[in-house]
């Protein structure tokens, strides 16, 4: 298969994957990745000497090609938002392919694009959705005897996600959802719930067909241990300390039992002292805190 035909075949598959409805092709990418906006003539005729113009929302100049001249080889007029980030596929022009590549997509790149062949009177429309789908973050707010208050947050998401708490059986649990104002085109969503068992927080973004989740024993902001074994962990420490103290008491008791009572023995070995006292090898015995002289 020729390279051009192979590329066109792959491009056709990608269009089908993203969907085609009412003449508009929908392309979905994650923020920061590259996006290919497809545009190809059905006739596959050579367009190296043709004119085609890419615009966003009907006004912004994205990319213009006219018989070899374009924004990447000195032509003026491209919108600053796309400066240095848009290119076409030079070798595919002979196959009627006017697709473009937008590098390092931004949230602001989302919108409606048109690929216009004014002289051929053909227009192709593409809807680009640039999404940000960060993983939910779970934080312990409070831990009481009634249960654990957990907070699930999603930062800098787009499109706006829907958060849900699910139990181990996949059932949706009632929770208090809070929405912070949109900042820099991103959404910040918080979901609170009091739980007594394991569960997970799920973030859904239907606009980009994306879903991500976080388990309470997996991703926890600022907490590294397993949340629902915290009480057992503390109990284990207390039991360990108690066993240690009890074992120490038993050892002390056994030592006391073997010795009978607290005893200490001191031997006088200094020869000068023996001579002064007129004794040899005398032993001093201390029993029950009372000093006693040994009998001979």
d(CA 243, CA 143): 27
SS3 132: strand
The model's pLDDT over 231-270, given as tens digits with 9 standing for 90+, comes to 454 556 666 777 777 778 887 777 777 765 554 444 444 4
Contacts of residue 61, defined as CB under 8 A and 6 or more positions apart, other chains included, come to 53, 54, 55, 71, 77, 78, 79, 82
d(CA 102, CA 83): 10
Closest CA to 38 of 10, 58, 78, 62: 10
Q: Outline which parts of the chain fall under CATH 2.60.40.10.
A: 25-131, 137-215
> Which range (14-23, 138-147, 187-196, 249-258) has the least confidence?
14-23
The model's pLDDT over 167-200, given as tens digits with 9 standing for 90+, comes to 777 888 888 877 676 676 777 878 787 766 677 7
| pLDDT, mean over the chain | 75
Domain 137-215, what architecture? Sandwich (2.60)
Written as one string, the DSSP assignment of 63-90 is EEEETTEETTTT-----GGGTTTEEE-G
What CATH number belongs to 25-131? 2.60.40.10
Looking at per-residue pLDDT, the higher value among 145 and 36 belongs to 36
Note the pLDDT of residue 235: 58
In the predicted structure, residue 285 carries a pLDDT above the cut 50: no
Q: How many helices (H) and strands (E) does the chain have?
A: 3, 21
The model's pLDDT over 61-92, given as tens digits with 9 standing for 90+, comes to 999 999 999 999 888 999 999 999 999 999 99
- The angle formed by the CA atoms of residues 237, 141 and 156, to the nearest 5 degrees, is 125
d(CA 39, CA 37): 7
Specify whether the backbone of 32 is left (phi greater than 0), alpha (psi in -120 to 50) or beta. left
């Amino acid at each position: 298969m020729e390279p051009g035909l192979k590329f066109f075949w792959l491009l056709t598959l990608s269009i089908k994957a993203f969907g085609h409805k009412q003449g508009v092709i929908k392309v979905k990418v994650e923020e920061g990745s590259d996006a290919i906006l497809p545009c190809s003539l059905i006739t596959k005729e050579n367009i190296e000497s043709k004119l085609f113009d890419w615009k966003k929302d009907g006004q912004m100049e994205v990319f213009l090609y006219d018989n070899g001249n374009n924004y990447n080889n000195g032509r003026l007029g491209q919108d600053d938002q796309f400066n240095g980030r848009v290119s076409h596929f030079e070798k595919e022009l002979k196959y009627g392919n006017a697709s473009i590549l937008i590098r390092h997509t931004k949230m602001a790149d989302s919108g409606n694009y048109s690929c216009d062949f004014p002289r051929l009177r053909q227009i192709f429309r593409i809807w680009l959705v640039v999404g940000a789908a960060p993983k939910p973050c779970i934080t312990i707010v409070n831990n009481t005897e009634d249960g654990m208050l957990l907070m699930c947050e999603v930062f800098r998401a787009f499109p706006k996600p829907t958060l849900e708490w699910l139990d181990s059986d996949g059932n949706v649990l009632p929770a208090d959802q809070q929405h912070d104002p949109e900042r820099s085109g991103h959404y910040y969503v918080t979901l609170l719930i009091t739980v007594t068992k394991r569960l997970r927080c799920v973030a859904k973004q239907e606009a980009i067909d994306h879903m991500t989740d976080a388990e309470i024993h997996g991703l926890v902001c600022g907490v590294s241990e397993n949340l629902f074994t915290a009480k057992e962990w503390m109990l284990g420490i207390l039991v360990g300390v108690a066993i240690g103290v009890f074992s120490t008491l038993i050892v002390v008791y056994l030592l006391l039992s073997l010795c009978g009572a607290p005893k200490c023995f001191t031997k006088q070995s200094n020869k000068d002292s023996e001579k002064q006292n007129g004794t040899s090898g005398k032993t001093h015995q201390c029993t029950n805190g009372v000093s006693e002289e040994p009998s001979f």
